[in-house]
Amino acid sequence: MLVLGIETSCDETAAAVVTDAEIPAARIRASVVLSQIADHAPYEGVVPEVAARAHLAQIDGIVRRALDEAKIGFVDLDAVAATGGPGLIGGVIVGVMTAKAIAAVRDIPFIAVNHLEGHALTERLTGTLEFPFLLLLVSGGHCQLLIVEGVGKYMRLGTTVDDAMGEAFDKTAKLLGLGFPGGPAVERAAKGGDASRFALPRPMIGRPDCHFSFSGLKTAVRRHVETLGGLPLHGDEARDLAAGFQAAVADAALDRTKRAVEMFRARHNGETHLVIAGGVAANSVLRARLGDLATTQNFTLHTPPPALCTDNAAMIAWAGLERLRLGLTDTLDFKPRPRWPLDPDAAPAIGAGVKA
């Protein structure tokens, strides 16, 4: 089977073609990603209206490039999948309407993919991972721990009660004057920094649940910047604060994930697979720390290639293919969703601003 995937939920316009080849390395026939970093850099954050207009201007050309790279035409497709949410609604609409048009003209199945499910199933695209597994999903808008029991079968163990992990990285980068996007900027700045120089909190550590919180950590960084006299920082101040922030995030992630491992074992004793996915999963420090945790817990850590951690259409096409195998397709009256929880039955976390 050949499935075209379209991703437009935030600030990447992407299209990809995947196949259900037995060998994982042969599954991605094409993957094209056009970043909008230059468009949003002056604002030090993603502007929804700017993003939607850029998607609209670029999507046709990006789809054509993906088909050309795969050396196929629309006539060869078995289905088309697009991110149906969650995300910036203007961008999501662009991708969904493009996919619907292709499906209608070619009379092939249309599949609306939950963007988070795309991240959740990426390791199955690049490997042979079986269900169930424990997932730490960390991105710009989401921070969750989930038990993945199958396609469409998710049990959320924890989420953030305020900022997502990636959002905290972006805001901290702005506070430190490091530029956009914040995740890579903080990681670069933190190299060689003294993580112990500034006292920073480790939110939620030791709690019996698996929830996260990063707002207080971000506020602590801001107060240190103000104490130092504000921007621009001098000498190693930005580097040390970046290192301290990154260490605090890693400590919190480890504590929360260790608690999730205990809960996962209680439900699936004998299963030992931990996956980290989403844009922040590309952070090398977080990967290393989680690798150490996995070793001490006798788990195997699975980390998708960095290029498949950030938003891309290959993961959407693959999630679409997995759903197509099960007969899980959508009608053309599907409505794009700005919010779309993977586990709709999960109890809300304590606190305001919980990310779906």
pLDDT in tens, 144-163: 999 999 999 999 999 999 99
In this structure, are residues 290 and 257 in contact, taking their beta carbons and an 8 Å threshold? yes
Beta strands in 225-336 (DSSP E): 273-277, 300-302
Report the distance separating Cα 278 and Cα 273, nearest Å: 17
Q: What is the number of residues in the chain? A: 356
pLDDT in tens, 224-248: 999 999 999 999 999 999 999 999 9
* Closest C-alpha to 144, from 257, 245, 247, 255: 257
pLDDT in tens, 105-139: 999 999 999 999 999 999 999 999 999 999 999 98
pLDDT of residue 307: 92
pLDDT of residue 324: 98
Q: Please state, as a whole number, how many other Cβ atoms lie within 10 Å of the Cβ of residue 90.
A: 18
pLDDT of residue 286: 96
**What are the residue boundaries of the structural domains of the chain, listed by start?**
2-124+307-325, 130-304
- Tokens representing residue 181 in the block: 């996007």
Residue corresponding to tokens 């599907």: 334
In this structure, are residues 223 and 172 in contact, taking their beta carbons and an 8 Å threshold? no
Domains 2-124+307-325 and 130-304 agree in fold? yes
pLDDT of residue 42: 87
Per-residue pLDDT band at 356 (split at 50, 70, 90):
very low
Name the percent of the chain lying above pLDDT 90: 92
Report the distance separating Cα 153 and Cα 270, nearest Å: 19
Q: Is the pLDDT of residue 355 over 50?
A: no
| Ranges 34-43, 101-110, 167-176, 238-247: which has the least confidence | 34-43
- Which whole number is the average pLDDT over 235-264? 97
Per-residue pLDDT band at 210 (split at 50, 70, 90):
very high
According to CATH, the topology of domain 2-124+307-325 is Nucleotidyltransferase; domain 5 (3.30.420)
pLDDT of residue 180: 87
Per-residue pLDDT band at 351 (split at 50, 70, 90):
low
The CA dihedral of 42, 44, 45, 47, to the nearest 10 degrees, is -30
Q: Are strands 273-277 and 300-302 parallel, antiparallel or unpaired?
A: parallel
Best-predicted range by mean pLDDT (38-52, 74-88, 338-352):
74-88
Q: What CATH number is given for 130-304 in this structure?
A: 3.30.420.40
Q: Please state, as a whole number, how many other Cβ atoms lie within 10 Å of the Cβ of residue 329.
A: 17
Report the distance separating Cα 164 and Cα 66, nearest Å: 31
- Which whole number is the average pLDDT over 168-179? 94
Which of residues 38 and 135 earns the better pLDDT score? 135
pTM as predicted: 0.94
Strand partners, 153: 150
Name the percent of the chain lying above pLDDT 70: 98
Q: Please state, as a whole number, how many other Cβ atoms lie within 10 Å of the Cβ of residue 42.
A: 10
Distance, first Cα to last Cα, the chain: 32
